[in-house]
Structure 1
Amino acid sequence: MAEIEKLPARSEIAEADKWALEDLFLTDADWEAAVKQLEEQLAQLKGYAGKVSASADALYAYLTLADETENLFEKVLVYSNEKMHEDMGNSTYQGYAAQAQVAATRLSAAEAFFEPELLAMEESRMQGFLKEDPKLEKYRLLIDRIWRRKEHTLSAAGEEILAKTYEMATAPDDIFSMFNDADAKFGTIRDENGKEVELTHGRFGGFMESSDRRVRKEAFEALYQTYDQFKNTLAATYSANVKKAKFYADVRKYPSALAAALAPGNIPTEVYDNLIETVHRFLPAMYRYVALRKRALGVEELHMYDVYVPLVADQTKKIPFAEAKEIVKRGLAPMGEEYVSHLEEGFDHRWIDVYENRGKRSGAYSWGAYGTHPYVLLNYQGKLDDVFTLAHEMGHALHSWYSNANQPYVYSGYLIFVAEVASTCNESLLMQYLLKESKDKKEKAYLLNHFIDQFKGTLFRQTMFAEFEKITHEMYAKGESLTAERLCAVYMDLNRKYFGEEMVSDPQIALEWARIPHFYTEFYVYQYATGFSCAIALSKRILEMGEAGVADYMKFLKGGCSKDPIELLKMAGVDISTPKPVEDALQLFEELVSELEELL
């Protein structure tokens, strides 16, 4: 019997290919000491209850301590979770992550009194504090934003009770993550050479790009067979998260869970609705691409396992990670020497955890804490898509680096709405570079296909996800139960709408909702689509305007959350409060499809 190819253990990965978490805490003992220090500071924070409204000095002292404590908590949280993500089955770091989650609840409880106490003050007294102590000017924007939330803030007692619910509220996400990353097993399939290999999250994407249709079909069916076995459990888990979102929206007097999710960034719900409506108008362009894909692959029926295979098969060479870094550097050269130097710093100083190992968290992300460099988790497989993922995650990392370097802690964390802009702008710049350098017709067709698939995967697919969330949250708000059968029916209808009649919507695809981690951060995914649209516009400005375009874009990267997201983007040259950026991006999609039709 042939030997099954298995993933390496964590200990078998070279140190150079692991992230340097010792830059955050040198040892586990240092992390444990930080947890103790955090407990002391939490007690100090609680000691300010009833005092912050007494004087400008007391208010400033509290805000300063809150910054220090939140920053320390960030470091505790990031280290514990990233250590756990190295091997999700490691019980030591499961315990650390659980401790950090408890600390998150205690931090929320310790600070729960603050906003109600601030909002109980006369506004004239608050303004007097700001005039009396110039140091408080640093916190003016924070205070203004708190006042903006006045009608959605509970009493001090109510806020403390609510804070104590947050640990329970993470349960759906925690359960899903443990199932998806630690417990779910997908068995084995035969690869292109007939060798039996373990099917994992990281390998699934590669199998979906295989030129061997049998491999794609086997991987597709094997993956969804596992989700089908647990669909009722996963439906209950997803439903619990929807219930959680409605609970917090109701308690805080928002008209819907969607409005509550968009409120922190001051994003009108019309932005969400405009995205869905605009994408619906351009669905005929997607149908054209589906028809082109069917013709190019030469199949009688196009199935969901045919969606990701490149249409120019012989261009799918494996790219070593060292080469991937060089390609990304060349692609991002229009950003200027300073930006590229920070990119190289990340490459050379182990910001990145590169390869998949047994038990490692699936997917990719960038995360870090103020005062330390960012970290990037990859599961690099050597595909062109992995090169784009590297550019994408380093876009996140450098956005964080610039925000942290140019903003005080209180305004350093950019909001979710703009989180995908810098990452996707990097991807767009890389693609424009590769298309420009391409001299071969077949290579250009391959790249165009890849760019089109980015639109399909980010603008169309994420909008479909966003519409699924909107529908299912509205169903629950109307009193409908979210059973596996109903969730599958909603998802299948959307899949047919977005892919059209030329696509066979295989029954397994109705279960795709069951494996999407981002659904547990409700109403997050639409921002991939709006961010992608903004990124297309910004990359165009950078390439056309040169240094002036980069200078405007740098204002955005350095801005953190010092302005509301829509205002930050306007500063960079894009207005997402209108449908125009999405329309412009989709018009480019139409043009790319036309160009590919001519080449194929």
Structure 2
Amino acid sequence: MYIIRRITMAIPERSELNPAFTWALEDLYSCDEAWQADFDWDKDYLKTVKAYEGRLGESAKLLLRYLELSDEIEVVFDKLANYAYRRADEDTRDSGPQAMCAQLTNFLTQLSTASSFATNEILAIPDETLEQFYKDLPGLEVYRRHLDNIRRRRAHILSPAEEKLLAMAGELSENPDNIFSMLNDADMKFADAVDAQGNPHALTHGTYIPMMHGSDRTLRKSAFDNLYAVYGQYRNTLAATLAAQAKQLWFFAQARKYPSALAAALDRTEVPEAVYHNLIAAVRENLPKMYRYVGLRKKLLGVEELHFYDLYADMVGDVEMKFPFEEAKEIALKALAPLGSDYGNILKEGFEERWIDVYENAGKRSGAYSAGTKVHPFVLLNYHDTLNDLFTLVHEMGHALHSELSNWNQPTVYSDYVIFVAEVASTCNEALLMEYLLKNTTDKKERAYLINYFLEQFRTTLYRQTMFAEFEEKINQLAQNGEGITADVCCALYRQLNQDYFGPDIVVDDAIALEWARIPHFYYNYYVYQYATGYAAAIALSRRILKEGEPAVEDYLKFLRGGSSLPPIELLKLAGVDMSTADPINQALALFDELIGELEELLTD
């Protein structure tokens, strides 16, 4: 068993950390002064870009030079940005890196404005002229997909004057999200939650979910009721804000001649609308499996009525799994060994060459992420030896190696992958880790704990995010049909979705009908569905890798090396997963059902 108890310690200052556990930003710049010198020098790119305005259609040579210049600028400013933003995240109290970020953001805005001519000039080149350019200058061929991707959206690009108007309105389109964020994050205050002994507990966005995971049902109910009581007070304002979001999406979709906001959002990443609708249909067909899980949860918790404040409570109990970082790295290497020695060697390099900023320090940005660069990825963690931290490590290294392999194998123009596939590599790593842990545990209760952890990933990612996606689509359809989006409408719709998705063994509390009001993802423009599709694809890939071995691994590595060289659906097909069908979703949920059965056997015999 991996059980080591960690002594709670004061959070250290950055200067007190062992440098071996901090990321190697010196691989980008030796110091802030070196960054500043490079930034000052690179400002000359502004004049260089402007020199091409009005000339891109003159010759193949000029067009190629401009595209190569764009790639060069991408590399230069990617390096500048990664240093500045990584430095800022080391200690958010330090004003120096914040000033660097502000300088950079201001200049990149100027650079974007200076290069805004390019799209319309590329669109203006006649098809026959562009084909002749490819013949005249074979070096231009590498950019064919990039240029085709711009030109395929010709019907949605407006005149320069109209584009300028839309750009001017762009800042206004951010207002719904900004208003929601200020209201949700800054203005809302919640009454303390009270536990079974009558002790008060400060209730915040940060403490709410840990309370929901706790064993004290009185505290869970108190936190649940107190949180949603506040959202109830602001329900009309929040509904108006969400309505504004849906209306602005529909405005821009119409302006760009799309039939719907969904079509506009998915077109950017070359994802067919059928993928979105297939996801919802497939998950709905598999809702009986969720009902089975909810019924098991009710049984194991031993409650007469299961409420939504019981959904996160631990069903296993009395299991504490701790993984010190050095042990976590060894487990990660073993768990991901099925991906082959090449993958393992890069992973080991990341561990040894300080790609990772491991531990929390005072002022450090919370959470975790991976940022890919041409030098190598940089991974931020706040590691505390928990099971969740172990999964976060392999998750973020999945992102990191995806970035690294794309950067190594693709030209700059295709080196970044689109958001639709962004969570596949990270979640595939998590699935392989889970399979490894389950295979290597002999403790019955520990196995049950791991399976429950796995099941919760299915519930919160595949089912819950799909429910969010369905709600988002219905709200946007209301806006497109000119129907009112009121608090009553939102609550009725969201309540019905919870009844549909969670089934008859849970009480659909009045308060849960307000959950839509606290979900920031509804302001992200059709983002949430990608969590669910990415999870389904990752489960299918991990199962294929473990079953078929080397052929499946090689297909998967083709996907990781692919960047954005193909549309995302085609890239996933290279790996052996067809997300244009419901098969990966059905396969993933078949595993969900299988795991429910095993948990039943482990905990009810």
Write the distance in 1 (CA, Å) between the matches of 2:376 and 2:199: 41
Deviations 1:460-495 (A, max 9, x none): 011011112111222222234444554344333322
Deviations 1:197-220 (A, max 9, x none): 766655544433323334444554
1:490 aligns with 2:502: no
Write the distance in 2 (CA, Å) between the matches of 1:333 and 1:127: 46
Write the distance in 1 (CA, Å) between the matches of 2:100 and 2:177: 17
3-state secondary structure, aligned to 2:482: coil
Aligned to 2:4: none
Deviations 1:183-232 (A, max 9, x none): 76668668999997766655544433323334444554555566556655
Structure 2 residue corresponding to 1:61, chosen from 41, 58, 65: 65
* Of 307-316 and 457-466, the range deviating more from structure 2: 307-316
Change in Cα spacing, 1:10 to 1:219, as seen in structure 2 (3 Å) is farther
Write the distance in 2 (CA, Å) between the matches of 1:326 and 1:93: 34
1:331 aligns with 2:335: yes
Contact 2:282–2:586, Cα closer than 8 Å, also in 1: yes
3-state secondary structure, aligned to 1:523: coil
The alpha carbon displacement at 1:533 in A equals 1.2
* Of 431-440 and 515-524, the range deviating more from structure 2: 515-524
Report the TM-score when normalising by structure 2.
Answer: 0.88
Amino acid at match of 2:397: M
Aligned to 2:461: 458
> Where does the alignment leave 5 or more consecutive residues of structure 1 unmatched?
none
Contact 2:396–2:426, Cα closer than 8 Å, also in 1: yes
Amino acid at match of 1:475: L
Aligned to 2:142: 138
1:247 aligns with 2:248: no
Contact 2:156–2:257, Cα closer than 8 Å, also in 1: yes
3-state secondary structure, aligned to 2:379: strand
Contact 2:316–2:448, Cα closer than 8 Å, also in 1: yes
Change in Cα spacing, 1:457 to 1:570, as seen in structure 2 (3 Å) is same
Write the distance in 2 (CA, Å) between the matches of 1:511 and 1:94: 37
Change in Cα spacing, 1:43 to 1:242, as seen in structure 2 (3 Å) is farther
Structure 2 residue corresponding to 1:546, chosen from 546, 549, 559: 549
Structure 2 residue corresponding to 1:210, chosen from 194, 214, 228: 214
Matches within 5 A, 1:97-496: 97=101, 99-173=103-177, 204-221=208-225, 223-224=227-228, 234-355=238-359, 361-369=365-373, 371-496=374-499
The alpha carbon displacement at 1:586 in A equals 1.5
Deviations 1:476-527 (A, max 9, x none): 2223444455434433332222112222333443343344343332111111
The alpha carbon displacement at 1:63 in A equals 0.6
The alpha carbon displacement at 1:598 in A equals 2.3
1:513 aligns with 2:516: yes
Amino acid at match of 2:159: S
Write the distance in 1 (CA, Å) between the matches of 2:471 and 2:384: 30
Amino acid at match of 2:338: P
* Of 13-22 and 271-280, the range deviating more from structure 2: 13-22
Amino acid at match of 1:344: K
Write the distance in 2 (CA, Å) between the matches of 1:433 and 1:194: 42
* Of 137-146 and 373-382, the range deviating more from structure 2: 373-382
Report percent identity of matched pairs. Answer: 54
The alpha carbon displacement at 1:157 in A equals 3.9
Write the distance in 1 (CA, Å) between the matches of 2:37 and 2:195: 48
The alpha carbon displacement at 1:106 in A equals 3.3
The alpha carbon displacement at 1:178 in A equals 6.2
Contact 1:542–1:550, Cα closer than 8 Å, also in 2: yes
Contact 1:7–1:356, Cα closer than 8 Å, also in 2: no
Write the distance in 2 (CA, Å) between the matches of 1:576 and 1:473: 24
Change in Cα spacing, 1:352 to 1:105, as seen in structure 2 (3 Å) is same
Contact 1:10–1:86, Cα closer than 8 Å, also in 2: no
Write the distance in 2 (CA, Å) between the matches of 1:91 and 1:237: 33
3-state secondary structure, aligned to 2:58: coil
Write the distance in 1 (CA, Å) between the matches of 2:218 and 2:385: 21
Change in Cα spacing, 1:83 to 1:49, as seen in structure 2 (3 Å) is same
Write the distance in 2 (CA, Å) between the matches of 1:64 and 1:364: 33
The alpha carbon displacement at 1:167 in A equals 4.7
Change in Cα spacing, 1:598 to 1:344, as seen in structure 2 (3 Å) is same
Write the distance in 2 (CA, Å) between the matches of 1:334 and 1:21: 31
Change in Cα spacing, 1:168 to 1:346, as seen in structure 2 (3 Å) is farther
Write the distance in 2 (CA, Å) between the matches of 1:23 and 1:174: 35
3-state secondary structure, aligned to 1:505: coil
* Of 575-584 and 146-155, the range deviating more from structure 2: 146-155
3-state secondary structure, aligned to 2:333: helix
Aligned to 1:41: 45
Matches within 5 A, 1:23-42: 23-33=27-37, 35-37=39-41, 39-42=43-46
Write the distance in 2 (CA, Å) between the matches of 1:469 and 1:220: 23
Aligned to 1:530: 533
1:597 aligns with 2:591: no
Write the distance in 1 (CA, Å) between the matches of 2:357 and 2:531: 23
Contact 1:261–1:522, Cα closer than 8 Å, also in 2: yes
The alpha carbon displacement at 1:565 in A equals 0.8
Amino acid at match of 2:564: C
3-state secondary structure, aligned to 2:447: helix
* Of 414-423 and 433-442, the range deviating more from structure 2: 433-442
* RMSD between superposed Cα atoms in Å: 3.2
Contact 1:425–1:535, Cα closer than 8 Å, also in 2: yes
Write the distance in 2 (CA, Å) between the matches of 1:89 and 1:226: 31
Amino acid at match of 1:545: E
Contact 1:334–1:543, Cα closer than 8 Å, also in 2: yes
Deviations 1:242-301 (A, max 9, x none): 344223322221111111111123211111001001111111110110010010011122
* Of 80-89 and 191-200, the range deviating more from structure 2: 191-200
Change in Cα spacing, 1:222 to 1:458, as seen in structure 2 (3 Å) is same
What is the count of residue pairs matched by the alignment? Answer: 595
The alpha carbon displacement at 1:71 in A equals 3.3
3-state secondary structure, aligned to 2:264: helix
Write the distance in 2 (CA, Å) between the matches of 1:87 and 1:240: 35
* Of 174-183 and 69-78, the range deviating more from structure 2: 174-183
Change in Cα spacing, 1:479 to 1:104, as seen in structure 2 (3 Å) is farther
Amino acid at match of 1:375: F
> Where does the alignment leave 5 or more consecutive residues of structure 2 unmatched?
1-7
Contact 1:202–1:379, Cα closer than 8 Å, also in 2: no
Contact 1:88–1:181, Cα closer than 8 Å, also in 2: no
3-state secondary structure, aligned to 1:366: strand
Write the distance in 2 (CA, Å) between the matches of 1:496 and 1:40: 59
Aligned to 2:3: none
Aligned to 1:578: 581
